[in-house]
């Protein structure tokens, strides 16, 4: 797993896709407990990265809505 890209550099889609791969591998059963733990830890990092992207997207939408509301209020 050392060759995996740094989680902080992944796009939402990259992190989501890798998280799905990690979950599928965990569901199939890793060959060792150590590998299972590595997968779990990677999955936690990937899930957190996805959450960061989603929070950022919500903040951008909220800002755009607020800007739209401010612009509409100034026109009235």
What is the tens place of the pLDDT at every residue in 20-65?
999 999 999 989 999 999 999 999 999 999 999 999 999 999 999 9
Asked if residue 73 has pLDDT above 80, the reply is: no
pLDDT of residue 1: 44
**What predicted TM-score, i.e. pTM, was given to this entire model?**
0.79
Q: Is the dihedral of CA 24, 30, 33, 37 positive or negative?
A: negative
Name the band, by pLDDT with cuts 50, 70 and 90, for residue 16. Answer: very high
Residues 6 or more apart whose Cβ sits within 8 Å of residue 1: 38, 42
Please tell me which residue, 76 or 27, carries the higher pLDDT value. Answer: 27
Query: What is residue 4's predicted lDDT score, i.e. its pLDDT?
Result: 64
Nearest C-alpha neighbor of 36 from the set 25, 48, 45, 47: 25
Domain ranges of the chain: 11-75
Name the DSSP class of 1: -
What is the rounded CA–CA span in Å between residue 4 and residue 36?
Answer: 16
């Amino acid at each position: 797993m050392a060759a995996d890209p740094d989680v902080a550099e992944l796009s939402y889609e990259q992190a989501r896709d890798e998280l799905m791969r990690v979950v599928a591998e965990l569901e199939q059963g890793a060959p060792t407990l150590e590998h299972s733990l590595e997968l779990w830890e990677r999955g936690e990092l990937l899930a957190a990265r996805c959450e960061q992207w989603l929070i950022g997207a919500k903040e951008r939408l909220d800002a755009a809505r607020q800007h739209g509301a401010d612009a509409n209020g100034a026109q009235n």
